Structure 1
Amino acid sequence: MPAYDELMAFQRETEALRQVMGRLNWDQETVMPKGAAQQRADELGALESVLHARRTDPRIGDWLGAVDPAALDDVGRAQLRHIRRSYARAVRLPETLSAEIARVTSRAQGIWAEARAADDVGHFLPALTDVVRLKREAAAALAEGGDPYDALLDDYEPGATAEGIAAIFDRLRPRLVELRERIMGAERTPAALAGRFDADGQWALAREVATHFGYDWRHGRLDRSVHPFTSGAGTDVRITTRVDEQEPLGCLYSTLHEVGHGAYEQRIDPAYLLTPLGSGVSMGVHESQSRIYENQLGRSRAFCDWLFGRMTDLFGAAGAPDAEAFHAAVNRVHSGYIRTEADEVHYNLHIMLRFDLERDLIAGRLEVSDLEEAWNARFEADFGVKVDRPANGVLQDVHWSVGLFGYFPTYSLGNIYAGCLYTALRAAVPTLDDDLARGHAERATAWLRESLQRHGGLYEPAEVIERACGFAPHEGPLLDYLDAKFEALYGL
């Protein structure tokens, strides 16, 4: 149909420009000189104005009205579903607001990095105040009388609601807290890794692990950034990590986490390139890939056996006396400050804290000036320790500086989806433990590619998980996995 062909040609150009904008953001976080921050903010604002004009072009409405969905196949109808949803959202936002958000968040991201390095909350709060003001305005415009936070959440997990997320968290929290209390009372107390681990060796091992888990270096690269992230889609997907010579697990598992994201984007059906189906369907599904790579596979006893040997080869010692102690150190449960370094038992508690705080910020029940105090009080109540400095507290995450309100709960959704996928994966790949003990993840990642990754945005989030697993996603498999794993580790 001519209308459909014209719509898709227009959409491909829009998607290409969106990828260019993503590349500018990648550059800003990795190699851009500090003095370019203001110019980059203006560049991103200008490009966002162009993209907003394309997303709200009246011809999109005309083309959508002229296309008969019944004449399309499943792929065509899925393309229309995404375009219609995007168009309906875009026309609610004024172009000036979209451009201003792009400019302000670009500038705020650099200010956040400076404030985090200096442990100076006051340096960041004025910029965050501007971001929150603009996101409240955007949320109100998108919600059209509904829940403003739901309107922001829909950007990352279409169809999800704050009420639904809160209900999931209400079911997760009791068993997580109960498991944590049993662990904290256990007689076993695994030691953390000890020693110094050369940065070049960490980097080499991170690249080796990424290769074993299927990251395609022909269409990707690994760089350093303050906060690890993944950028791009299709044939250009880039990941970053960070290195600390005192703490090698941060580099290794941040890399594995981002490889999960990157592999998802790299393995989507090439026929969907530069279309709405050519990216991951939601951040919850995206996080299911990063979390299953990082945790269920990467922190398994089998893979830790292999990793222990490689660390001994590279560093002369792995920081633990044997593979069993190494596995326990990798999975050690402790009330740490940093979300990205949190163990699997505490991780979702970190997310619940952020979810509640950002809902209150968007609703106006909490002001930016009171955010640090609210964070510190909630952290002490949930984790039993006081925040020692802002970089370990309210300044640790990049998300709010770049306006990603509604993003945090998708991490926990990803954990839930990963729990379901892992149950199905173990049934589908009976050699999984033997494979991982040799450092091989090919059969596991091949199953994820065929069952989920290749579909991109073809199905709705919960549907693609159900298709892969054979059952509707729910929190039970995750909680059962955590109980079994940590009861064994701690002799409960």
Structure 2
Amino acid sequence: MAAYDELIAYERDTQALAQVAGRLGWDQETVMPRGAAPQRAEEMGAIEHVLHGRRSDPKVGDWLAKVEEAALDDVGRANIRHIRRAYERMNKVPVALAGELARATSVAQGDWAQARAADDFASFRPVLENIVKLKREEAAALSDGGDLYDALLDDYEPNATGTELQAMFDALRPRLVALRDATMGAAHQPLTVTGDFDERKQMKLARELARAFGYDMSQGRLDKAVHPFSSGSGLDVRITTRTSASDPFNCFYSTIHEAGHACYEQGIDRAYLLTPLGQGVSMGVHESQSRIYENQLGRSRAFTGWLHDRMAEEFGDLSVPDRDAFYGAVNKLHPGFIRTEADEVQYNLHVMLRFDLERQMIAGDLAVADLEEAWNDRFRADFGVSVDRASNGCLQDVHWSVGLFGYFPTYSLGNVYAGCLNEALQAEMPDLADHLARGEAATPTAWLRDKVQVHGGLYEPKEVIERATGKAVSVEPLLSYLEAKFGEIYRL
């Protein structure tokens, strides 16, 4: 046990330093002065160098060799599983490469933001080419001769493979496309909420929404960013959103989505603080929380009825006549360009596009120079609309600029997980709608905390969902939910 105790004490310091690195990233995306970017890149590279060195230090291997796992409880064995996995992965990646990736992706965030604002992919192309080159080098180091994309995917969804995810997408696509076409062509089309919505009032209501879903503002904060995100774990978990005077739903549902991520981190057993178990087990499970908060709960008929009344109180009379019309407006399908603003039916189609393109880039089958054209061609084929500018196309997401290859498919995996969790939640909480109609979203999210969030990294990702639901993971609950919901809204 002495080796285990020493290893965990060492790991706590490593976890604390990782939280500091995360705070630097939050600062960069929210309040850091633009001119500080070059220095921040050096800072991020330096701290990544330290973290890489700690995680790959030979004494970690010595401790792991001395630990007798048979003498540990479930928590101890889970900690060892995570530490060993990180140690083995870190020792495969040269420290110089890890530092260069940290520096390159830190600078690239600012380059991406400028290129996006200017709708200029050509200026960002050499930056992205360098990142793809570095990520391919990292994948080659990690893969041991196996699939490069799978090696990167494992960082976000352990044990998942591109082949497995392709099968999931193949099962989702036909019914999603059929539902999209049926709703778009339906005789009945929901109304749209229009108007000018004061952005300060949006932020006020956004904070109320975050608290309504159980987000603890005493250990977090809500700020604005170009691309909404959640940052941190344990006792300091921060979220961001964005506002648009003509589109308050962008602000409100981005906030609820990020609150889902943050509540997961805040809901983890405090005994796991600053250990490998003290954060979400995978991005797929993380997305299951943000998506069920945002969609199955936040866009439900019951909760939108409450939101309708709160918006009327804050902004005055709305452009739709009643709660029913408001529910339709919140869930209305629209042929937009932006993934984060996509409706539930089309969202996964956006993810499929990115999944296919990034797999091709990592495999070396798609050059970055050809990315913009490939994106535009694929978008036209999938959505029937021509991309009008780069900020609506391949520059809209921050992920590739910060090296998050393998991240995108976890959004859809999270939707599938959320479908499974929603089915179980509905069965176990027959009065769910009554709570949501009163704006009491924290009541059902407490179920998610007890079933999913509290465990942190104790179990493997699929095991978390299967323990919570008592069933194997399947796409069927999500598809059935979508077909029933939108069939009713569009009177199919």
Could you say which TM-score interval applies, normalised by the shorter chain?
over 0.9
Provide the C-alpha distance between the structure 1 equivalents of 2:416 and 2:382, rounded to a whole number of angstroms.
21
Three-state SS of the structure 2 residue aligned to 1:207 is: helix
The correspondence of residues 350-429 of structure 1 with structure 2, limited to 5 A, is 350-429=350-429
Partner letter of residue 98 of structure 1? A
Measure how far apart 1:277 and its partner are. Answer: 0.1
The correspondence of residues 92-171 of structure 1 with structure 2, limited to 5 A, is 92-171=92-171
Measure how far apart 1:429 and its partner are. Answer: 1.2
Structure 1 segments of 4+ aligned residues over 2 angstroms from their partners: none
Tell me if 1:222 matches 2:236: no
Provide the C-alpha distance between the structure 2 equivalents of 1:64 and 1:188, rounded to a whole number of angstroms.
63
Provide the C-alpha distance between the structure 2 equivalents of 1:155 and 1:24, rounded to a whole number of angstroms.
21
Provide the C-alpha distance between the structure 1 equivalents of 2:72 and 2:447, rounded to a whole number of angstroms.
29
Number of aligned pairs? 492
Measure how far apart 1:292 and its partner are. Answer: 0.2
Three-state SS of the structure 1 residue aligned to 2:411 is: helix
The correspondence of residues 75-94 of structure 1 with structure 2, limited to 5 A, is 75-94=75-94
Three-state SS of the structure 2 residue aligned to 1:237 is: strand
Tell me if 1:191 matches 2:191: yes
Equivalent residue, structure 2, for 1:281: 281
**Which deviates more, 478-487 or 180-189?**
180-189
Q: Is 1:23–1:232's contact at 8 Å kept on the other side of the alignment?
A: yes
Measure how far apart 1:318 and its partner are. Answer: 3.0
Partner letter of residue 369 of structure 2? S
Three-state SS of the structure 2 residue aligned to 1:78 is: helix
Three-state SS of the structure 2 residue aligned to 1:240 is: strand
Equivalent residue, structure 2, for 1:176: 176
Three-state SS of the structure 2 residue aligned to 1:353 is: helix
Partner letter of residue 460 of structure 2? E
Equivalent residue, structure 1, for 2:265: 265
Measure how far apart 1:379 and its partner are. Answer: 0.3
Provide the C-alpha distance between the structure 2 equivalents of 1:376 and 1:229, rounded to a whole number of angstroms.
26
Three-state SS of the structure 2 residue aligned to 1:278 is: coil
Provide the C-alpha distance between the structure 1 equivalents of 2:318 and 2:202, rounded to a whole number of angstroms.
12
Measure how far apart 1:321 and its partner are. Answer: 1.9
Equivalent residue, structure 1, for 2:334: 334
- Aligned-residue Cα RMSD (Å) equals 0.6
Provide the C-alpha distance between the structure 2 equivalents of 1:141 and 1:305, rounded to a whole number of angstroms.
52
Measure how far apart 1:319 and its partner are. Answer: 3.4
Tell me if 1:310 matches 2:341: no
TM-score, normalisation: structure 2: 0.99
Provide the C-alpha distance between the structure 1 equivalents of 2:472 and 2:319, rounded to a whole number of angstroms.
41
Q: Is 1:429–1:443's contact at 8 Å kept on the other side of the alignment?
A: no
Provide the C-alpha distance between the structure 2 equivalents of 1:90 and 1:261, rounded to a whole number of angstroms.
26
Equivalent residue, structure 1, for 2:484: 484
Superimposed CA distance per residue, residues 324-371 of structure 1 (whole angstroms, 9 cap, x where no aligned partner): 111111101122100000000000000000000000000110011100
Tell me if 1:290 matches 2:282: no
Provide the C-alpha distance between the structure 1 equivalents of 2:108 and 2:235, rounded to a whole number of angstroms.
30
Measure how far apart 1:443 and its partner are. Answer: 1.9
Superimposed CA distance per residue, residues 269-295 of structure 1 (whole angstroms, 9 cap, x where no aligned partner): 000000000000000000000000000
Measure how far apart 1:322 and its partner are. Answer: 1.2
Provide the C-alpha distance between the structure 2 equivalents of 1:97 and 1:317, rounded to a whole number of angstroms.
57
Provide the C-alpha distance between the structure 1 equivalents of 2:127 and 2:106, rounded to a whole number of angstroms.
10
Provide the C-alpha distance between the structure 2 equivalents of 1:317 and 1:124, rounded to a whole number of angstroms.
44
Measure how far apart 1:40 and its partner are. Answer: 0.2
Measure how far apart 1:185 and its partner are. Answer: 1.7
Three-state SS of the structure 1 residue aligned to 2:227 is: coil
Equivalent residue, structure 2, for 1:2: 2
Fraction of identical pairs, as percent: 66
Superimposed CA distance per residue, residues 149-187 of structure 1 (whole angstroms, 9 cap, x where no aligned partner): 000000000000000000110111011111111112210
Provide the C-alpha distance between the structure 1 equivalents of 2:401 and 2:25, rounded to a whole number of angstroms.
13
Measure how far apart 1:192 and its partner are. Answer: 2.0
Provide the C-alpha distance between the structure 2 equivalents of 1:442 and 1:39, rounded to a whole number of angstroms.
41
Provide the C-alpha distance between the structure 2 equivalents of 1:115 and 1:131, rounded to a whole number of angstroms.
16
Runs of at least 5 residues in structure 1 that lack an aligned partner in the other structure: none
Equivalent residue, structure 1, for 2:202: 202
Q: Is 1:116–1:396's contact at 8 Å kept on the other side of the alignment?
A: yes
Tell me if 1:319 matches 2:294: no
Provide the C-alpha distance between the structure 1 equivalents of 2:227 and 2:334, rounded to a whole number of angstroms.
22
Provide the C-alpha distance between the structure 1 equivalents of 2:420 and 2:277, rounded to a whole number of angstroms.
23
Provide the C-alpha distance between the structure 1 equivalents of 2:76 and 2:100, rounded to a whole number of angstroms.
34
Provide the C-alpha distance between the structure 2 equivalents of 1:155 and 1:282, rounded to a whole number of angstroms.
8
Equivalent residue, structure 2, for 1:69: 69
Measure how far apart 1:309 and its partner are. Answer: 0.4
Q: Is 1:284–1:414's contact at 8 Å kept on the other side of the alignment?
A: yes
Provide the C-alpha distance between the structure 1 equivalents of 2:144 and 2:320, rounded to a whole number of angstroms.
56
Superimposed CA distance per residue, residues 405-447 of structure 1 (whole angstroms, 9 cap, x where no aligned partner): 0000000000000000001111111111011111111220110
Equivalent residue, structure 1, for 2:213: 213
Q: Is 1:358–1:405's contact at 8 Å kept on the other side of the alignment?
A: yes
Provide the C-alpha distance between the structure 1 equivalents of 2:459 and 2:472, rounded to a whole number of angstroms.
14
Provide the C-alpha distance between the structure 1 equivalents of 2:384 and 2:469, rounded to a whole number of angstroms.
37
Tell me if 1:236 matches 2:236: yes
Provide the C-alpha distance between the structure 2 equivalents of 1:85 and 1:447, rounded to a whole number of angstroms.
30
Equivalent residue, structure 2, for 1:301: 301
Provide the C-alpha distance between the structure 1 equivalents of 2:414 and 2:443, rounded to a whole number of angstroms.
21
Provide the C-alpha distance between the structure 1 equivalents of 2:443 and 2:435, rounded to a whole number of angstroms.
8
Provide the C-alpha distance between the structure 2 equivalents of 1:407 and 1:43, rounded to a whole number of angstroms.
24
Provide the C-alpha distance between the structure 1 equivalents of 2:318 and 2:99, rounded to a whole number of angstroms.
49
Measure how far apart 1:391 and its partner are. Answer: 0.6
**Which deviates more, 40-49 or 439-448?**
439-448
Measure how far apart 1:191 and its partner are. Answer: 2.4
